[in-house]
Amino acid sequence: MLIWEKFRKNIFDNKLVVSGDKVLLAVSGGADSMVMASLFSLLTKVLNIDLVVVNFNHNLRKESVREAKIVKNFIKSLNIECVLKNLDTKRYAKQQDISIETAGRRLRYLELENIAKQYKCNKIATAHNMNDNAETVFMWLLRGTGTDGLAGIPMCRKISKNLSIIRPLLPISRDLIEDYAKKQQIKFCTDKTNFKCDYTRNKIRLNIIPQLKQINPSIINHIYNLSMMIKDETAYFKNKINYFISKHVKISSSKIVVNLKKFNIQEKIIQYKILKEILPDKKRAIQINNITLWLKDKKSKIYYLSKNWIAKKNNKQLSFVAIKF
């Protein structure tokens, strides 16, 4: 059972789950999350852990009610507690003046955190896989990312002192997941909106990646390996950046001051990453590169970062100052 071995190895190698954990599983009804629930059920026979499942109905598709029933019945067969949660995604999108896609994602994570606290879970597991990681890398590339974007989806992300999000399926391809679901006769739901090119991610999934697979069938795996290498490099640089900030940067809500002499003697890549970490607004690669060019311009003393922030410089300091209206 290849997928089980990959899943188990990832859990233990990265210490995503340990004995005594209580894990909240986000299960949409798709193949990825249904297989994740099945694998976690097997994991309970290896580790002393408790599980809770949550399924969200975003009230965007008529099929969601039927899908919630499929999830509930499957989770019941695994003897896992299941929570069904309705979300008013359209209303939230309108209130926040954001897209439906962004609203759905934000609401999910807000509710995941709330439900995790309610059920005293210390881990939240989502079913992001190797293909999702590749799509995310391409999305960052299209936006003009630095190397951090190439790290893709984090395997584990701490969101509070006692709560972390984990992605145990990240080293596993979608093909392998769907093959497991069929062999184990796990009924799953297919969201028809995933086949519409209305969103950037779907365009990448349906158009770009299939063409790349024709050139190299192992492209998804190669991107994942690249992401893992970048992740290790990012962790290394993070320690160096945090040390510099602790010694040479003063941060308040309305002003950020950098020791420019200490900043100027850093290597270019370190300078870039310091700026990316401390910038209060507009953290895209092109903006950071523009700032580094401005720092070399001896005539210009002010740089307009955004409508809310400006940058100033003198011989000793680089300052980012909030604009007061």
Tokens 């079913």 identify what position? 127
Residue 177 to residue 195: CA distance in whole angstroms: 18
Regarding whether 186 and 272 lie in a shared domain, the answer is: no
Tell whether 181 and 301 lie within a shared domain.
no
**Domain coverage including residue 93:** 2-128+151-191
CA nearest neighbour of 35 among 143, 258, 189: 189
Residue ranges of the alpha helices (H) in 144-256? 147-150, 174-183, 200-203, 209-215, 219-248
pLDDT on residue 197: 76
Q: Could you tell me if 178 and 302 lie in one domain?
A: no
Same domain, 35 and 180: yes
Let me know: does 104 contact 59? Beta carbons within 8 Å: no
User: Which residue among 173, 191, 209 closes a domain?
Assistant: 191
Residue 310 domain-assigned? Answer: yes
Pairing of strands 317-322, 22-26: unpaired
Sheet of strand 22-26: strand arrangement: 81-86, 50-57, 22-26, 123-125, 163-166, 156-160
Tracing tokens 């997941």 back to the chain, one arrives at: 177
Q: What is the pLDDT of residue 191?
A: 76
Residues 157 and 262 in one domain: no
13, 162: one domain: yes
**Domain identity same for 25 and 159:** yes
pLDDT computed for residue 312 by the predictor: 95
- What does residue 165 show for φ and ψ, rounded to 5 degrees? -100, 130
Establish if 299 belongs to a structural domain: yes
Domain count, the chain: 2
Are residues 265 and 116 part of one domain? no
Residues 276 and 164 in one domain: no
Q: Is residue 141 assigned to a domain?
A: no
Query: What letter would DSSP give residue 194?
Result: G
Any domain includes 232: no
CATH number, domain of 34, equals: 3.40.50.620
Distances from the Cα of 254 to the Cα of 269, 287, 321, angstroms: 26, 20, 6
| 166/294 same-domain check | no
Q: pLDDT at position 145, please? A: 75
Tens of pLDDT, residue by residue, the chain (325 residues): 699 999 999 999 999 999 999 999 999 999 999 999 999 999 999 999 999 999 999 988 888 899 999 999 999 999 999 999 998 899 999 999 998 888 999 999 999 999 999 999 999 999 999 999 999 999 999 887 777 789 999 999 999 999 999 999 999 999 999 999 999 999 999 877 777 777 788 999 999 999 999 999 999 999 999 999 999 998 899 999 999 999 999 999 899 999 999 999 999 999 999 999 999 887 777 889 999 999 998 888 999 988 889 999 999 999 999 987 5
Inside any domain, residue 135: no
Those residues with Cβ within 8 angstroms of residue 323's Cβ, 6 or more apart along the chain or in another chain:
307, 308, 309, 310
Q: Which residues lie across from 51 on neighbouring strands?
A: 23
Terminal CA-CA length for the chain: 62
Residue 138 lies in a domain: no
Specify whether 172 is located in the same domain as 256: no
Residue 13 lies in a domain: yes
Pair 67, 176 in one domain: yes
Extract the tokens encoding 310: 């400006």
Whether 143 is covered by a domain: the verdict is: no
pLDDT of residue 227: 96
